[in-house]
Amino acid sequence: MTHHSLRARLGVLIAITLAGVAADQLVKALMRTLLASGPRTLIPGVLDLVLVENSGAAFSLAEGATPVFVIAALAVAVGVTAFVARTPIASLPLVASLSCVAAGGLGNLIDRLVKGTVTDFFCTTFVTFPVFNVADILVTLGVAVSLVLFVRMPDPDAADAKCATGDKSSQEQPHG
């Protein structure tokens, strides 16, 4: 079982979270400028760019619930940080995927706090789907990858039990 230092785990967390938030905010600023004159087709029949200021969640659900979204985003960021800090067996890919979740939540949080709405712009044209942004992509991919990695994460209690009982079946045996 590989243990990564707290410094390595927090370094990955901070770097990816900051990069994700920066990318999200930069793209949103660019889209607000680019789309001020109206929508544009990005991939014909697949994806358009449409400027939408959303005060709710997906499908504009829970409009006006900004305090709830602020608390939720902060709770996710704190929870991810606490998990990363307290889980030495967390792989760096798991830390990276959780960092994407935190980055997406914080990116949309910044919008809510600064503007009162979240800037969305990716609009699928081949299927009815909520308009979304880079932060939403980070959250979605981060959650999906994290779930896969959590399932594959070793059970620290099982590893400790093997060590305590002297079970060496998973260790390399010398050849005689």
pLDDT tens column, 87-136: 999 999 999 999 999 999 999 999 999 998 999 999 999 999 999 999 99
Residue 168 lies in a domain: no
The strand ranges marked E within the chain are 40-43, 47-54, 118-124
Cα 76–chain centre separation? 10
Q: Is the torsion defined by CA of 30, 31, 36, 41 positive or negative? A: positive
Using DSSP bridges, classify how beta strands 47-54 and 118-124 pair: parallel, antiparallel or unpaired: antiparallel
Residue 75 lies in a domain: yes
The structural domain count of the chain equals 1
Confidence (pLDDT) at 176? 45
pTM exceeding the 0.95 threshold for the entire prediction: no
Residue 65 lies in a domain: yes
Residue 58, pLDDT above cutoff 90: no
Residue length of the chain: 176
Residue 127 lies in a domain: yes
Residue 161 lies in a domain: no
What residues are labeled active site? 120, 136
Residue 56 lies in a domain: yes
Residues spanned by the domain of 98: 6-152
Residue 162 lies in a domain: no
CA separation (Å) from 157 to 66, 87, 146, 164? 40, 13, 20, 10
Q: Which residue has the tokens 């594959």?
A: 152
